[in-house]
């Protein structure tokens, strides 16, 4: 059994649809560190949550990256959804020439044990890393965690990233959660898709696919 650490029932619905009954929600509001990338936030959260749950955990840190705003709101997506709202995110984007965006998720897994180093650190696309410290990720982001916590023996964390390109559009659809009504992929907003349809193409579905392939070998 796996603890999916989140306060967001929408994420749990999608993970349960993908991973069957292996997942239970662990409603734990882990302290999010401030960082420009999702990976360190998820890695730090997974370590905190593992200590609280005392069992294997996954944390999913997601964000909407709007190209016209150089990736904003990115890791600050939750804050922006709560303070600005998705309707106004659409209105801010509407006058721009470029409405393209991407949704990204990083799933971080921690079970307190070490992992054999792999050639590819959790399936994260090296092209996208833009000079990040890949070696640190192969150690589970230990460098970042050490900076944050001063903990020389940071717990190993494995990261799995999923990304999906799309367009910011006027809100459509009743399903999904969060930014789904304003995020269109191939002509359909995520809020117009069923959970299974969204999982088949979404950032989270792609990260869950990488995670479940690796987890099956564990």
Q: Which residues are catalytic?
A: 61
Q: Site mask, ligand ITT, residues 68-87, x = CB under 6 A?
A: ---------xx--x------
H or E segment to which residue 159 belongs: strand 158-168
Least distance from ligand ITT to the Cβ atom of residue 123, Å:
18
Of 139, 158, 185, 204, which one interacts with ligand ITT (CB under 6 A)?
204
- With residues binned 3-state (H G I as helix, E B as strand, rest as coil), the percentages for the chain, rounded to 5, are 40, 20, 35
Q: Does 121 bind ligand ITT (CB under 6 A)?
A: no
**Which segments of the chain does DSSP mark as H helices, in order?**
9-19, 38-53, 77-83, 86-93, 134-138, 142-149, 195-201, 203-215
Least distance from ligand ITT to the Cβ atom of residue 217, Å:
26
99-118 residues near ligand ITT, rule: CB under 6 A: none
Q: Which pair of structure tokens corresponds to residue 206?
A: 């792609």
Of 26, 65, 160, 179, which one interacts with ligand ITT (CB under 6 A)?
179
Of 26, 109, 160, 190, which one interacts with ligand ITT (CB under 6 A)?
190
Least distance from ligand ITT to the Cβ atom of residue 116, Å:
28
Return the bridge partners of 19, or none. none
134-163 residues near ligand ITT, rule: CB under 6 A: none
DSSP 190: G
Q: Which pair of structure tokens corresponds to residue 173?
A: 């659809």
Least distance from ligand ITT to the Cβ atom of residue 77, Å:
4
10: three-class secondary structure by DSSP: helix
Q: Which residue lies nearer to ligand ITT by CB, 64 or 138? A: 64
Does the N-terminal peptide bond of residue 73 adopt cis geometry, omega within 30 degrees of 0?
A: yes
24-63 residues near ligand ITT, rule: CB under 6 A: 60-63
Distance CA 191, CA 197 (A): 10
Please state the separation of Cα 180 from the chain's center in Å. 14
204: three-class secondary structure by DSSP: helix
Residues 6+ apart with CB under 8 A from 21: none
Q: Which residue lies nearer to ligand ITT by CB, 61 or 137? A: 61
Of 111, 145, 180, 184, which one interacts with ligand ITT (CB under 6 A)?
180
Least distance from ligand ITT to the Cβ atom of residue 79, Å:
8
Q: Residues in the site for ligand ITT, rule: CB under 6 A? A: 6-8, 11, 60-63, 77-78, 81, 176-180, 190, 202, 204
């Amino acid at each position: 059994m796996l603890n999916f650490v989140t306060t967001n029932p929408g994420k749990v619905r999608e993970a349960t649809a993908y991973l069957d009954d292996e997942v239970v929600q662990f409603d734990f509001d882990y302290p999010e560190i401030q960082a420009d990338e999702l990976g360190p936030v998820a890695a730090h959260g997974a370590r905190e949550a593992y200590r609280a749950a005392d069992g294997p955990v996954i944390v999913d840190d997601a964000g909407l990256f709007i190209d016209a705003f150089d990736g904003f709101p990115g890791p600050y997506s939750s804050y922006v959804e709560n303070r600005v709202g998705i309707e106004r995110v659409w209105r801010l984007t509407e006058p721009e020439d470029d409405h393209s965006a991407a949704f990204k998720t990083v799933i971080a897994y921690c079970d307190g044990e070490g992992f054999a180093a792999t050639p590819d650190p959790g399936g994260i696309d090296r092209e996208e890393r833009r000079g990040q410290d890949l070696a640190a990720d192969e150690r589970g982001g230990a460098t970042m965690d050490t900076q944050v916590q001063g903990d020389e023996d940071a717990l190993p964390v494995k990261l799995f990233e999923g990304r999906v390109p799309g367009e910011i559009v006027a809100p459509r659809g009743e399903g999904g959660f969060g930014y789904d009504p304003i995020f269109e992929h191939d002509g359909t907003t995520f809020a117009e898709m069923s959970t299974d349809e969204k999982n088949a193409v979404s950032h989270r579905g792609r990260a869950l696919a990488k995670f479940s392939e690796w987890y099956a070998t564990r």
